[in-house]
Structure 1
Amino acid sequence: MDRIVLKNMGFYGYHGNLESEQSQGQRFYVDVEVKTDLTKAGQTDNLEDSINYVEIYNTVNAVMTGEPRHLLEKLGALIADELWNNYKGIVGLSVTVRKPSVPIAGMLDYVEVITTRGQF
Structure 2
Amino acid sequence: MAPFTGDRIILNDLGFYGYHGLFSEEEKLGQRFVIDLQCGVDLSAAGNTDTIGHTVSYADIYDVVRETFEGRRTRLIEALAHNIVAALFEAFSDIEWIIIRVRKPEAPIAMVRGEAAIELHRARPA
TM-score when scaled to structure 2?
A: 0.88
What is the distance in 2 between the residues matched to 1:76 and 1:45? 31
Question: What's the CA shift for 1:19?
Answer: 0.6
1:109 to 95, 111, 114: 114
Q: Which residue of 2 aligns with 1:40?
A: 45
Q: Which aligned pairs between 1:84-103 and structure 2 lie closer than 5 A?
A: 84-103=89-108
Q: Which residue of 2 aligns with 1:59?
A: 64
Question: What's the CA shift for 1:108?
Answer: 4.0
SS of the residue aligned with 1:65? Answer: helix
Q: Aligned pair 1:7/2:12, yes or no?
A: yes
What is the distance in 2 between the residues matched to 1:26 and 1:38? 35
CA contact (8 A) 1:12 1:64 kept: no
What is the distance in 1 between the residues matched to 2:13 and 2:53? 25
Q: Which residue of 2 aligns with 1:25?
A: 30
Question: What's the CA shift for 1:106?
Answer: 3.2
Question: What's the CA shift for 1:88?
Answer: 1.8
Number of residues of Structure 1 aligned to a counterpart in Structure 2:
119
What is the distance in 2 between the residues matched to 1:78 and 1:108? 28
Q: Aligned pair 1:82/2:87, yes or no?
A: yes
* Structure 1 runs not aligned, ≥5 long: none
Identity of aligned residues (%): 35
TM-score when scaled to structure 1?
A: 0.92
What is the distance in 2 between the residues matched to 1:66 and 1:25? 14
* Structure 2 runs not aligned, ≥5 long: 1-5
CA contact (8 A) 1:13 1:66 kept: no
Q: Which runs of 4+ in 1 moved over 6 A?
A: none
